[in-house]
Chain A
Amino acid sequence: MIPRKADRILIQGITGKQGSFWSKAMQDYGSTIVAGVNPAKAGSEHLGVPVFASAREAAKSTPFDIACMFIPPMLAKVAAIDACEAGAKLLVCLTEHIPAHDVMEMHVAARATGTRIVGPNTAGLVTVGECFIGIMPAFNDRVFRPGHVGVISRSGSLGTLVSLNLTQSGLGQSVFYGVGGDPMIGTNTADALRILDGDAGTHAIVLCGEIGGTAEEEAADYARSMTKPVVAFLAGRQSPPDKKMGHAGAIVSGGKGDYASKRKALEDAGVTVADLPSQIPALIAARLTATASNDAPRSPR
């Protein structure tokens, strides 16, 4: 699901410092915020929209499609379940450091209500030139310009760098899809790839991965079936691996997760892997040119 201007957004924690700052930025960019939540300020108005005690309260009078959380970690589970039960189709969870057991319960709630969770610990989603949800510098036109390259990233800062590099090279973006840096995210890199693969406005995709977990290996499985070009950059080649206790981690990951495994999986699936973020624009341009010439109608003679 790619956010559109017509999507009605509810902001949980709209009255806080960050909630206010970013909600205003979203409104200025074109996002349609219809309501906010803060139990202590229910009945008031903030940034021109009504504030409710809960997402469920809001839904009674002010229907919404997307919920976005500016909620501290220990309160995030309750807020997320509230948003799901209030009928959010999409929940953008920006919060970092939510206890993992709480995240598991959030996913249970989302499965029950059919809500798609993006995050936790995502920097958000940008439909470039149309609307954004989260904490990305969508409004900075040296970073984001409308175009046809989709960017998927676990990390907001790396996603910003890559988008900047594309813009500096004259390649605009269609969508930035921040999947989030947590181990148990609702929409993983493979899901995001599938979503952007199905987006007519996206002609090529940059995938910004990181060492750890198996998200890039899973994304590679999907990429194998794609015709749209995909270029990847994997952060963490120089990072010392995390020391884990016990055997269970290694047993569960089965040897996946390091730089070499991810790079091989992606290259085997036809993804071009860049050594540096600054190489990405040229690699994308080259892949787009190759695709265009393959697609060009054959000369009759």
Chain B
Amino acid sequence: MNFEEHAAKPLMALNGITVPPSRLALDPVEAEAAAAAIGPCVVKAQVPAGKRGKAGGIKLAANPAEARRHAEAIIGLVIGGWPVEKVLIEAQTPIARELYAAIVNDSASKGPMLLFSPMGGMDVEEAAAADPAAMRRLPIAIEHGLGAATAHKAISGLGLEAVAPALVDVLLNLYRAYRSLDAELIEINPLVVTPDNRVIALDCKLTIDDSAASRQVQAAALAAPVQQTVLEAKAAEAGLKYIELGGEVGVLANGAGLTMTTMDVIAHYGGQPANFLEIGGEAYTKSKVALSILLENPNVKSLLVNFCGAFARTDVMAEGVINAWEDLKPEIPIFFSIHGTGADAAVALVKSRLGIEPFDLMDDAVKAAVAAAAGRTQA
């Protein structure tokens, strides 16, 4: 789960990292009032996406009237696909240097990694690509945690001696926040040094591990909404991963790998998948609710059911599909390819209750579903 700046920064403050005073505003009037309390400020679009500055979502305001005008302009923008519905009114901070600091899950070292760069700001990715040495990467042994020695190493030799103790504190606190929040990513960009040598986090991107949500209940309540369609929300409610796509061939498969593959094969044969919907893992008993969600998408012209049961029992999944099919009586054609665990029973059920013969080869089922979606019958 992702966190917007206004939700992430208080979590950083709780861990001892200094952030500027700020207030959240839901409309220009609130923005004006907040600016009156805070003084010269920055009006910042709140969306769980990057590149807000480049999209015109971050503007300086010298006074409350200007803050109001900026809020009027920013609220309603669409940034990274997200409509801006709120702005953060934050006190302006004088900047001497802009740094970059992050802690991220690193799959290569199978542990946390500290990233630090003296070249923070909007173009940090480009700077790191152009000059890899400018981005320091220090793997952290999770059994020992981040120690002061490693933190010192991250910042040494960069002309940061005057603020070294404060910077080291920030890095240690950042790591503490990372661990205590089950974070996948905490990124402070920029981490600024003020002319009077204070170290302040001007922005914060936070992603917390979805798998840890049940033990991060307090923080999870502050997470940014997930961008999803009505059907996607309904699927999420049912514990299913469903993504709406533009095409016309409905896809019901088990396991993310097979589902992605099914989409690829549909495209190979000239069709377009209408959705990603997988019911593998523990969700394999949910094929009835899965199918009803899928059929609510009016773009679906044919349905491809592709099961390759390993853990997931195809007989259980097929029975759910058949029950739903009999209930909903959809008027689109359905095509089956069923193999693996429970396939004999599943194939027998499909034949006896729907009078449909599943295909022996997945490619044949895909071709038939693509042809049917295009209004053709397979020769």
The interface of chain A, by Cβ under 8 A from chain B, is: 18, 73-74, 94, 96-101, 103-105, 107-108, 123, 135-137, 140, 142-143, 153-161, 164, 168, 181, 183-184, 186, 208, 210-211, 213-214, 233, 235-240, 243-252, 254-255, 275-278
Contact = CB atoms under 8 A, between A and B. Distances in A.
B214 interface: yes
A276 B281 CA distance: 24
Contacts of B214: 74
B102 interface: yes
Given A143-B340, A245-B48, A251-B135, A154 B257 contact: yes
| Chain B at the A interface: SS class | mixed
A141 to B, nearest CB: 12
B110 A237 contact: no
Contacts of B361: 168, 278
A155 B280 CA distance: 11
A223 to B, nearest CB: 18
Given A159-B310, A240-B243, A247-B50, A235 B257 contact: yes
B263 A137 contact: no
A54 B259 CA distance: 37
Contacts of B169: none
Contact of B256 (A104, A181, A186): A181
Contacts of B329: none
Contacts of B310: 123, 135-137, 156-157, 159-160
Contacts of B141: 108
Contact of A245 (B110, B185, B254, B267): B185
Given A158-B258, A248-B102, A251-B135, A96 B182 contact: no
Interface of B: 2, 48-50, 80, 100, 102, 104-108, 110-113, 115, 124-125, 128-129, 135, 137, 141-143, 179, 182, 184-185, 187, 189, 205-207, 209-212, 214-215, 243, 245, 253-261, 263-268, 273, 276, 280-282, 308-312, 339-341, 343, 360-363
Interface centre among B104, B257, B264, B267 (most CB of A within 10 A): B257
27 contacts: A74-B214, A99-B182, A99-B209, A100-B211, A101-B182, A101-B212, A105-B143, A108-B142, A123-B311, A137-B309, A137-B340, A142-B343, A143-B339, A153-B257, A156-B310, A157-B254, A157-B310, A214-B107, A238-B266, A239-B276, A245-B2, A246-B189, A247-B102, A248-B102, A248-B187, A252-B137, A278-B363
B260 A236 contact: yes
Contacts of A233: 261
A94 B312 CA distance: 13
Given A140-B341, A248-B115, A155 B105 contact: no
A180 to B, nearest CB: 11
A16 B267 CA distance: 40
Contacts of A73: 211
B261 A158 contact: yes
B268 A276 contact: yes
Given A237-B267, A246-B50, 18 more contacts: A99-B182, A99-B209, A99-B212, A101-B212, A136-B310, A142-B343, A155-B256, A156-B255, A157-B257, A157-B258, A158-B261, A164-B340, A184-B110, A245-B49, A245-B50, A246-B102, A247-B50, A249-B104
